[in-house]
Amino acid sequence: MTTQPATRSYASGTADVPLLGDTIGENLDRAARSHPDRDALVECATGRRWTYRQLVEDVDALALGLLDLGIDRGDRVGIWAPNCAEWTLTQYATAKIGAVLVTVNPAYRSHELEYVLNQAGIRLLVAAERFRTSDYAAMIEEVRPRCAELERVVLIGSGGWDGLLATGRQADPAALAERQTALAPDDPINIQYTSGTTGFPKGATLSHHNILNNGYFVGELCGYTEQDRICIPVPFYHCFGMVMGNLAATSHGACAVIPAPAFDPAATLAAVAAESCTSLYGVPTMFIAELAVPDFDSYDLSSLRTGIMAGSPCPVEVMKQVIERMGMTEVSICYGMTETSPVSTQTRADDSIERRVSTVGRVGPHLEVKVVDPATGRTVPRGEPGELCTRGYSVMLGYWGEPDKTAEAVDAARWMHTGDLAVMDRDGYLSITGRIKDMVIRGGENLYPREIEEFLHTHPDVLDVQVIGVPDAKYGEELMAWVRMREGAEPLTAEAVRAYCEGRLARFKIPRYVHVVEEFPMTVTGKIRKVEMRETAVRLLAEE
């Protein structure tokens, strides 16, 4: 039986607004001309603030300082630091001179740092001296002899950093203007390393066109104007912070607010209240932590209108609390991946509550999505699960220096294969049901952890839950639920979970094992490391 096109799981995003055709530097300059005296950047930890005029002055000074060091178009400049104003200045300064900014995960240790420095061929590394337990300066010195292309290191807050800005302030601005006119929107401008939950991470290479447009259209769907103030507790090193945060802000003349160097739930709520933020970002675990702050009700969050929840599937119960208790009535769910700049689908402000708690929205403007059978590549009928693919301006240029891995992810027709399982409904809304590799096959039944997690979130004592598959001699795989309990609640047993599920969930979907934990193993961007969970689970079961 053939499927008619109208019933296939395919959708394209229409838009009245055309794609932006400029570079990031040109776009920032335009915002500064339109809104010179509006707040552009606020760093709550230090109290520092920049208007758009001041931000461009400092960005240009840093850009000219980098030109003085001989940084050329296409050279790789690394940034290794927690969220801070200097991170943002470096992001825009490198864009203005056409250098490729390589964002280094703040959680990396020396082995991972060495890999990225060499794999990307970084010439200059801008880094914090230290943060929390990480002595960045010491790790850099440890690996530096083995990184032949690394010529210079500039530590934020040091004399080297101050000297770079001072040099730029005395330089002829004509040199920067000349460089900017030589740049093209399709130039590579950013390398972002995927989380690396297994093996070495891959460097997704993104252009001005990729990330500027993605930030802009994400902001459009959030209804941003120059009146908005966006609280960004998510890391800048990832697309969530630097694209959906910084670029969405500057492309609309809005203000980016940095609540703290790293995520702190109380500091985030305090920043929203103090800066009258209209928008708040986070992965679901961040919102869960904010809602659990003991004096949550003492923070004035009345300015909040919208925000974005993304990075991992959002539990329905959490989404409802964000809308009801935080007042984020227009909160948006975004779905995407680093390789797609990152957002492919997004809920809209006028979507029903049900749509916004049960789907990741519809395809974004100027993009295409489809759901295919992973085995045949054929587009499946709407309502059937398959692998989500996306195509359009957002798809990366490729993995840096790895054409074979690029070919595995992006097919000949430029469709990015996400590895995520999805279902598209008749109206084009997508639900993510899990990762292809996370699907559990128990006795021939295909089980999707997301469905079971959503149900267990309704248990009154459960704060958060993740479900994984573990080896089983009889069924091939069995289900294990990792559970975080609410404060004061008694740890759940497998028997208690079974009793709660009995009669409400098909018997084969009820987890056989339950493991209560304080925290889940996670990447710095808030993605659950299910591979690590499985390894731990296998070890725990072997010990029983």
Q: What is the C-alpha to C-alpha distance for residues 254 and 248, in angstroms, rounded to an integer?
A: 8
In tens, the pLDDT along 257-266 reads 999 999 999 9
Does residue 1 have a pLDDT over 70? no
In tens, the pLDDT along 485-531 reads 999 999 999 999 999 998 888 788 899 999 999 999 987 666 788 88
Report the candidate in 428, 276, 439 with the shortest Cα–Cα distance to residue 362: 428
Section 327-339 average pLDDT: 94
Residue 464 DSSP SS3: strand
Q: Which region, left, alpha or beta, applies to residue 264 given φ > 0 means left and ψ of -120 to 50 means alpha? A: beta
Q: What is the C-alpha to C-alpha distance for residues 440 and 152, in angstroms, rounded to an integer?
A: 48
In tens, the pLDDT along 393-405 reads 999 999 999 999 9
CA 130 to chain CA centroid, nearest Å: 23
Residue type, 69: L
Strands 279-282 and 306-309: parallel
Predicted local confidence at residue 4, as pLDDT:
47
Predicted local confidence at residue 375, as pLDDT:
84
Q: Identify the band that residue 195 occupies on the pLDDT scale cut at 50, 70 and 90.
A: low
Q: Identify the band that residue 2 occupies on the pLDDT scale cut at 50, 70 and 90.
A: very low
Section 281-299 average pLDDT: 94
Section 130-148 average pLDDT: 95
The CATH number of 439-543, from 1.10.3470.10, 1.20.1250.20, 3.30.300.30, 1.10.10.10, is 3.30.300.30
Section 454-480 average pLDDT: 91
Q: Identify the band that residue 199 occupies on the pLDDT scale cut at 50, 70 and 90.
A: low
CA end-to-end distance (rounded Å), the chain: 50
Query: Three-state secondary structure along 67-82?
Result: HHCCCCCCCEEEEECC
Query: Three-state secondary structure along 309-346?
Result: ECCCCCCHHHHHHHHHHHCCCCCEEEEECHHHCCEEEE
CA 105 to chain CA centroid, nearest Å: 12
Does residue 198 have a pLDDT over 60? no
How deeply is 426 buried, as exposed, middle or buried, from its count of CB atoms within 10 A (0-12, 13-18, 19+)? exposed
Section 441-470 average pLDDT: 88
Predicted local confidence at residue 313, as pLDDT:
66
Helices H / strands E in the chain, number of each: 18, 26
In tens, the pLDDT along 24-63 reads 999 999 999 999 999 999 999 999 999 999 999 999 999 9
In tens, the pLDDT along 345-385 reads 999 999 988 888 889 999 999 999 999 998 899 999 999 99
Predicted local confidence at residue 343, as pLDDT:
98
Does residue 455 have a pLDDT over 80? yes
Q: Which region, left, alpha or beta, applies to residue 140 given φ > 0 means left and ψ of -120 to 50 means alpha? A: alpha
**Sheet hosting strand 188-193, strand order edge to edge:** 152-155, 122-127, 76-80, 100-103, 188-193, 203-207, 398-399
Predicted local confidence at residue 197, as pLDDT:
43
The pLDDT mean for the chain works out to 93
Does residue 465 have a pLDDT over 80? yes
Give CA separation, 315 vs 109, 253, 356, 463, 464, in Å. 32, 32, 11, 10, 9
pTM (two decimals): 0.85
Predicted local confidence at residue 531, as pLDDT:
86
Q: What is the C-alpha to C-alpha distance for residues 175 and 250, in angstroms, rounded to an integer?
A: 24
* Percentage of residues in the chain having pLDDT higher than 70: 97
**Residues pairing with 153 in the sheet:** 125
